Amino acid sequence: AAAEKGGFETFMRKEINEQPGAVADTLRGRIDETGQIVLDEVRMSDQDFRDIDKVFIIACGTSYHAGLVTKYAIEHWTRIPCEVELASEFRYRDPVLDRSTLVVAISQSGETMDTLMAVRHAKDQKARVLSISNTVGSTIPRESDAVLYTRAGIEVAVASTKAFLTQLAACYLVGLHLAQVRGIKYADEVSAVLDELVAAPGKIAKVIENLEPVREMARQCAALGTDRVLFIGRHVGYPVALEGALKLKELAYLHAEGFAAGELKHGPISLIEDGTPVIAIVPSPRGRSLLHDKIISNIQEVKARGAKVIAICEEGDRITAAHADFVFETPASPTLLSPLLTAVPLQEFAAELATALGRDIDQPRNLAKSVTVE
């Protein structure tokens, strides 16, 4: 078993480390020399993509968080309205769909019953279903009109890490492809983003090399007997906050919650006590500086109530460094792609905190890798 883990203590640690390669594999061969995205295996023509006037993303768990990130990207790059919904909710209501709706079903296993039922619900209404899955020949891809496979390799640990990053990569490809075939005015931006996407594996590797301070923070939280951790973010940092909190619930059995930072004042801020750790996902100070200013005020608000702020920010972000108690820097990246980098320290934080508490991080209690019942 030690050999299977490639020298790592756990599958989860091995899988976190495999992320740069998994993302690179998922991109490989899907962007040609001229910078066009080629998704031949998707079995949907350019015309099919041009006919789409609405996108619905359905998924569960971590895959749902990949979907939430994708909404920001698709709406920005293509101006096509995009909704994201938990599969278990989608299937029991009357979503408005038709032939020109693209339903994107994201499922690592391809076997999640809630997602499968949602796919059938969408197909009943004639929507076109494109699935993004890590498992070749699994049920959801088989029942979909088209499929784009992630190439994470087998993910053994129950808590998803490398599958999540490859789902993001695949979703970005779908979004950028939609933008390209529709010839939307963002052509320049799309090609710049593509270059950045290709550079992402190298940056993820850099993040992974420097995780020791995150582990140290996690061990401190465990030693202090931390009983809750809050995660805040805005824009794509919000789904990353949700994913960071999910990892901590899954692995450490701690009460962890992710919030849109703007919602703090509408309730969650009352959870903060002296010493409560708050992990803030801070957007780049470049470009969208308005968002950056907003999150700095949120950091000030929680600090004023005693929170201990751990910020995940872009390298060289001095403003955040001046306000947070601890900063973990990630390489510069376009905001929409930043989850590929900012999610990684949160995975490691949860793994280390859980390990310090003596949990089995590969096999957390009560959870299954693939949930094939409703």
Catalytic residues, which ones?
369
How far is residue 80 from each of residues 51, 199, 356, measured CA to CA in Å? 11, 26, 45
Among 10, 26, 160, 347, binds ligand G6P (CB under 6 A): 160
Q: Does 370 bind ligand G6P (CB under 6 A)?
A: yes
Q: How far is the CB of 262 from ligand G6P (least distance, A)?
A: 26
End-to-end CA distance of the chain: 32
For ligand G6P, the binding residues in 122-141 under the rule CB under 6 A are none
Q: How far apart are CA 268 and CA 325, in angstroms?
A: 20
> Measured between alpha carbons, how far is 296 from 232 in angstroms, rounded to an integer?
11
Measured distance CA(302)–CA(300) in Å, rounded: 6
Total residues binding ligand G6P (CB under 6 A): 16
Choose between 113 and 319: whose C-beta lies nearer to ligand G6P.
Answer: 113
CB nearer ligand G6P, residue 167 or residue 180 = 167
158 binds ligand G6P (CB under 6 A): yes
CA distances to 60, 101, 122, 142 from 117, rounded to whole Å, are 12, 17, 9, 13
> Contacting ligand G6P (CB under 6 A), which of 101, 107, 150, 347?
107
Nearer to ligand G6P, 111 or 263 (CB): 111
> 37 to 56, contacts with ligand G6P by CB under 6 A?
none
10, 70, 101, 115: residue in contact with ligand G6P (rule CB under 6 A)? 115
- In the list 5, 76, 182, 369, the residue contacting ligand G6P (rule: CB under 6 A) is 369
CB of 346 to ligand G6P, least distance (A): 14
Of the pair 166, 180, the CB lying nearest ligand G6P is at 166
Q: Residue 260: CA atoms inside 13 Å, Cβ hemisphere, count?
A: 7
Can you tell me which of 31, 52, 60, 73 binds ligand G6P, judged by CB under 6 A?
Answer: 60
- Nearest residue to the partner ligand G6P, using Cβ: 61
**Distance between CA 327 and CA 198 in Å, rounded?**
26
Binding status of residue 63 toward ligand G6P by CB under 6 A: yes
Alpha carbon 346 to chain centroid, angstroms: 11
Q: How many CB atoms lie within 10 A of CB 294?
A: 16
DSSP-based three-state secondary structure for 84:
strand
Within residues 6-35, the interface with ligand G6P by CB under 6 A covers none
Shortest Cβ distance from residue 198 to ligand G6P (Å)?
A: 25
What H or E segment, with its residue span, contains residue 17?
helix 11-17
What one-character DSSP code corresponds to residue 365? T
Instruction: Answer left, alpha or beta for residue 318, where phi above 0 means left and psi between -120 and 50 means alpha.
Output: alpha
* In the complex, minimum distance from the CB of residue 368 to ligand G6P, in angstroms, rounded to a whole number: 6
E strand or H helix that includes residue 163: helix 162-181
Is residue 233 close enough to count as binding ligand G6P by CB under 6 A? no
Contacting positions for ligand G6P (CB under 6 A): 60-63, 107-109, 112, 115, 158-160, 367, 369-371
